Amino acid sequence: MDQLPLFHNLTNRPCLLVGGGDVASRKAHLLLQAGAELIVVAPQINDNLQSQVLKQGSQCHLRCFNPQDIQHLPYALVVAATNDQQVNQQVSQLAQQANILVNVVDQPALSTVTFPAIIDRAPLTIAISSGGAAPVLARLLRGKIESLIPHRYGQLAELAGKFREKVKQQFSAINDRRYFWEKVLTGPIAEQVFAGKLDKAELQLEAALAEATPNKLGEVYLVGGGPGDPDLLTFRALRLMQQADVVLYDRLVSPEVLELVRRDADRLYVGKARSNHALPQAEINQRLIDLALQGKRVLRLKGGDPFIFGRGGEEIDQLAEAGIPFQVVPGITAASGCASYAGIPLTHRDYAQSVRFITGHLKEGHLELPWQQFSNPAETLVFYMGLMGLGTICQQLQNHGRSPDTPIALVQQGTTQKQRVYTGTLATIETVIKDQEVKPPTLIIVGEVVSLRSKLAWFSAE
């Protein structure tokens, strides 16, 4: 995050606007809407700007900017909207010296704050900013969001504000209040507001509050976070990620996916690396139960899919035994995601009629697998967690019937901007990566389908 978004209360607070043209007029409109006491200074002020400023009881001064203008009042904000670079630089410098927030229009380098694109559903306000880097893009995004949010969301916010203290009195725990409001704001009461039936919505909210009781038992969400690219999350996964009070996440969950979890949720890292477990599996299982018994909504966030080498079955088995309610949300497993982003179809009518997922994780330095079952050249093999056992995998496959010329690919950190793909054959792949720093997580794909990568590769990591 390059900038921290904040919402400022400018009601009856003095703000200085230097400039008198169309751009200054647009900034004045926003500041006056926010209730600011506006002082405009410019040698020429257009009629529109002068009219709206005087109508709101603010001031216009027809003269050039003077350094003493900065010292005139304890300004909450100074805006420079002139076409004179020297004046803009002077305003910025003086404001910053006085520790006053300053915006120089279209010059982010001279600004300590920037104006966002705004979706106004007062008292609900949504702001989008590119930090001045791409204001047109911010406006385009505003247009998209405007079409998704009904204007009556403002009335819904007002209704919530009217009942806020009553809900606070009824529920002492903040989580209980949150659960109550989530039901109200996403259910039939909200629909009544959107339909314009405000009186009916208020009566239903009164009834819902009278019947509501604190949650005694929480719930666990077992969610697959996919192979890394946050765009591959399901809608349901994202919704539950935004609801959870506590998050237990694995090593394979990408930072970009983790960033989409509710910001005020507690986060607990329980990842497992080779010979290094942050928390043993039995303790993870018990932690899920304990947190749910405290009435919390617990997100168990796993890389890939929780039911494919994710030990999700073990975890929900313990939850079911303890009587804890749970939901399972599948994710795109690494085999599907990494192969797709590498341009390698796992099955193909001309090359492979089946695919097999295999764990390549070494146990006490050994890799015990039914190698004799992997000899079919028309079957694609996908090894998870196999980087440390690569040499064994290549040798054993050759020993059990696979040709040394069988194509093989290593996909490192697939679907992310750090993706790297190394290809070779069972006989050459170790030489190919000998001088490379291949880092986990890495997926190994073996089979004739790997030969299609040169033609089908589409994703390029920067």
**Predicted local distance difference test score (pLDDT) of residue 366:** 77
Question: Within a domain: residue 122?
Answer: no
101, 33: one domain: yes
Question: Within a domain: residue 429?
Answer: yes
Backbone angles phi, psi at 102, to 5 degrees: -135, 140
**Predicted local distance difference test score (pLDDT) of residue 273:** 62
What's the rounded mean pLDDT across residues 404-425? 96
Question: Within a domain: residue 180?
Answer: yes
19, 73: one domain: yes
pTM of the model: 0.78
Report residue 275's pLDDT band, with 50, 70 and 90 as the boundaries: low
Contacts 24+ apart (CB under 8 A), 154-158: 154/121, 154/122, 154/123, 154/124, 155/193, 155/198, 156/124, 156/185, 156/190, 156/193, 156/194, 157/121, 157/123, 157/124, 158/123
Report residue 242's pLDDT band, with 50, 70 and 90 as the boundaries: very high
What's the rounded mean pLDDT across residues 315-331? 96
Question: Within a domain: residue 137?
Answer: no
Instruction: Kindly list the catalytic residues.
Output: 250, 272
**Predicted local distance difference test score (pLDDT) of residue 361:** 79
C-alpha 126: how far from chain center: 16
Question: Within a domain: residue 164?
Answer: yes
Binding site as annotated, residues for S-adenosyl-L-methionine: 227, 303-305, 308, 333-334, 385, 414
- What does the pLDDT look like over 120-156, one tens digit per residue? 998 999 999 998 888 899 999 999 999 888 899 999 9
Any idea which residue has 């400039």 for tokens?
19
364: left (phi over 0), alpha (psi -120 to 50) or beta: left
Q: How far apart are CA 139 and CA 152, in angstroms?
A: 21
Q: How far apart are CA 103 and CA 131, in angstroms?
A: 11
**Predicted local distance difference test score (pLDDT) of residue 364:** 64
309, 346: one domain: no
157, 98: one domain: no
Which residues are paired to 16 by β-bridges?
Answer: 39, 78
Q: What is the CATH number of the domain that holds 164?
A: 1.10.8
Q: Is the pLDDT of residue 175 over 90?
A: no
- What does the pLDDT look like over 419-450, one tens digit per residue? 999 999 999 999 999 999 998 899 999 999 99
Q: Give the domain-ending residue among 332, 366, 392.
A: 332
**Predicted local distance difference test score (pLDDT) of residue 274:** 56
Binding site as annotated, residues for NAD(+): 22-23, 43-44
- What does the pLDDT look like over 200-218, one tens digit per residue? 999 999 999 999 988 788 9
Domain that holds residue 251: 219-332
259, 303: one domain: yes
**Predicted local distance difference test score (pLDDT) of residue 135:** 87
Q: Nearest Cα to 330, choosing from 300, 366, 306, 364?
A: 306
Q: What is the number of structural domains in the chain?
A: 4
